[in-house]
Structure 1
């Protein structure tokens, strides 16, 4: 089992990465959350990895944090959730937000993830609620009341960053503001807001 890759990032065409490790190029699939957090091409990267062995291929998945990898491994153990959907879940929602949806039994939040329908969301809630303890420190990343003020500041920053990105893409200020406010939810990163806003425009 390959549990960690350390090398030079050669390509970042999410979800496909190419990392050079002492002259050997590793094809790695990664969620958007990981791809967005990586340094520039040509720089050093460290990824926590999971090797999926199939009859027709060995597929290496890479994650920026152990929390993401743990969640990925937990998801693929659920009936009907394969690596492709697990990767989509990690790409569509940050780990703390996903855990919050499970704890709140909120299928409405989960169906906002591309590829997750109502039945899948309900199954995730039922099967994941007993597995949250296995996520360890990922669960500790959830917001506590004492962090509420910090979260509000982070939310403001995320909204501002998303609006700036839309303006850079050529959208009008009023259009960008309306799109961002329409899709933004608590806990969403600027990248998630941008993706959702682009779909809504």
Structure 2
């Protein structure tokens, strides 16, 4: 299964986006492709669901993990296919939909295209109590990756500035390199913190 795709957004169509991954273009069907408009010609991270049947293979895409999970849960409900699931995702946020299922709100559920009373009751029967965990999903991997990247950049800059400061204090390149492994294991990020840690190590050495 293809869990997600990271690549360049090259085209946005009415019902899909094209993501270029090292020269291969993946067409990904989305509830709202224009949600990726700001990422056109930029790198994007899209959660995907690889829908496979005997006569078709389709990639469905989502900006958030909770949207993908809701999509997969909806596919398990009799009477709801991929198009119906996408129509729901394109019309409501996850929290509102989960709340409607939990309070057994037939009127809310039948407001979606293709969802009649029978299907609405089936949604409640099949999904009530099984969706609330989506509201506490952890930070998305791409967010974590972005945060980690920013932290790494900040640390690298602090380390470089700290090395220059130590040199100005008279410490040699060899002495500084000797303590770098220990500095890189520390949680210090700012230049001042790194310098203080470095001076403590240099005094001991």
Q: TM-score range by the shorter chain?
A: 0.5 to 0.7
Contact 1:72 1:87 in 2 (8 A): yes
Compute the displacement of 1:134 (Å). Answer: 5.1
Residue-pair matches, total? 137
Shift of 1:68: 0.5
Report what 1:131 is aligned to.
130
Which residue in 2 is equivalent to 1:87? 86
Residues 98 and 38 of structure 1, relative CA distance in 2, 3 Å threshold: farther
Q: Determine the structure 2 residue equivalent to 1:20.
A: 20
Relative distance call for 1:112 and 1:76 in structure 2 (3 A) is same
Matched ranges for 1:158-197 at <5 A: none
TM-score (norm 1): 0.63
Quickly say closer, same or farther: Cα 1:35–1:131, change in 2 above 3 A.
farther
Partner of 1:29: 29
Q: Deviations over 1:129-163 (max 9, x none)?
A: 0322453625xxxxxxxxxxxxxxxxxxxxxxxxx
The answer as to whether partners of 1:63 and 1:69 remain within 8 angstroms in 2 is yes
In 2, distance between residues paired with 1:38 and 1:96?
24
* 3-state SS of 1:92 partner: coil
**Equivalent residues in 2 for 1:52-91 (5 A)?**
52-91=51-90
Counterpart Cα distance in 2 of 1:99 and 1:112: 15
1:79/1:89 CA distance change after superposition, 3 Å? same
Gaps of 5+ in 2: 138-205
TM-score (norm 2): 0.62
Gaps of 5+ in 1: 139-201
Task: Compute the RMSD of aligned alpha carbons.
Answer: 1.7
